Amino acid sequence: MADLMKEYIDEAESVLLHTYNRYQVVFDHGDGVHLYDMNGKKYLDFVSGIGVFALGYNNKEYNDALKAQIDKIVHTSNYYYNVPAIEAAKKIKEVSGMDRVFFTNSGAEAVEGAIKTARKYAYLKDGGTDHEIIAMEHSFHGRTMGALSVTGTPKYREAFQPMIGNIKFANLNDIDSVKAQITDKTCAIIMETVQGEGGIHPSDKAFLQEVRKICDEKDILLILDEIQCGMGRTGTMFAWQDYGVKPDVMTSAKALGCGVPVGAFMMTEKVAQNSLVAGDHGTTYGGNPLAGAAICKVFELFEKLDVLNNVKEVSNYLYERLEEVKASCPDIVDHRGKGFMQGLEFNKPVADIICKALDNGLVLINAGTNIIRIMPPLIITKDNVDEMIEILKKSLS
């Protein structure tokens, strides 16, 4: 079987476009917080598909809900209504306090929709098409051209210039840098409430509240990207709910469907009544009945399993145990994060450590070259944390 796994890896390299440097493993199935490769080797998963599998693997209620919907209908198109999408939108409204929902297939698509919403909102105010958007350095919003344009990491953008125009960059948690970029043409400020790919950097509460205040004063839309940090990952359903602010537009994806490809952007009623109208935006697959059924079941299970309280309790323990690791390893220069979204910053590249951890049965991922990103399923226990810490220490030595 080991040879068979190698055969599949070799085949992948001959048929798939090489845009990922993949780890040398073929995962076959999962159960709870564990993954299993083709040889049956068991791995403790502290990546959760980059924050997607919040409920862990092989949850019977989730699986059964999808199977039941598949037997009814998977797709109809958005020229017609479907009950799962309506119910899913109602649940999102209930937990977020936003007013209108547009379903997409991915986080990047949600960001594209948010950008279009902001530009249309500004266009309807003054008829201009030269409005500006302020994004953050070290941010990550996706790989499509619009999302890439507001991603504050130059190496991702360089080969694909020109980007969409009139994008400026400020620094997270530096309010003066934001103020310096604002003009009478600024229509939106977009930021992750907690930066993920850029190194696990949470927004400061005072900073985010000041940005919200500026947006209110100048009628600028605040777009909060909750694709990675939302859906319970930081201990509230959406990370901004712990900051005493509310966005005008927000994006979600990843754990929104817990495995089914789905994203969404939401907005307040004021923005909805003054931005996109029929013909302005669309999607073939977004909001299909299967995705809607997944979202509905995800919210139901979050409540049934008391996921948010588990995150609050166990993430404090995770933080303490990671502090121990930091104290015992001179190569670790920083430890930061919020909830089940934490990072260990090293003074060297971490690829070898992640590979050793994988060999030792622990799935980890990086954020940049020198940061180990820790994003487990939201159902992990303190015992799972202890097991992870032991394997991590072994991999560091």
Q: How sure is the predictor about 331, in pLDDT bands with cuts at 50, 70 and 90?
A: very high
Give 230-294 as a DSSP string.
TTTTTSSSSGGGGTT---SEEEE-GGGTTTS--EEEEE-HHHHTTS--TTS---SSTT-HHHHHH
Q: What is the mean pLDDT of residues 231-259?
A: 98
Say if CB 290 and CB 214 are below 8 A apart.
no
Residue 18 backbone dihedrals phi, psi, to 5 degrees: -85, 80
CATH architecture for segment(s) 2-55+306-396: Alpha-Beta Complex (3.90)
How many CB atoms are located within 10 Å of the residue 132 CB?
A: 18
Q: Which of 391, 389, 363, 395 is nearest to 22 (CA)?
A: 363
pLDDT at site 323 = 98
Strand, helix or coil for residue 160: helix
CATH 3.40.640.10 in the chain is located at 61-304
Whether pLDDT at 2 is above 90: no
Q: For 61-304, give the CATH class.
A: alpha beta
- For 79-123, what is each residue's pLDDT tens digit? 999 999 999 999 999 999 999 999 999 999 999 999 999 999 999
- For 141-195, what is each residue's pLDDT tens digit? 999 999 999 999 999 999 999 999 999 999 999 999 999 999 999 999 999 999 9
- For 314-328, what is each residue's pLDDT tens digit? 999 999 999 999 999
Q: What is the mean pLDDT of residues 248-276?
A: 98
Q: How sure is the predictor about 3, in pLDDT bands with cuts at 50, 70 and 90?
A: confident
Say if CB 256 and CB 264 are below 8 A apart.
yes
Q: What is the mean pLDDT of residues 353-369?
A: 97
CATH 3.90.1150.10 in the chain is located at 2-55+306-396
Q: What is the mean pLDDT of residues 4-12?
A: 93
- For 63-78, what is each residue's pLDDT tens digit? 999 999 999 999 999 9
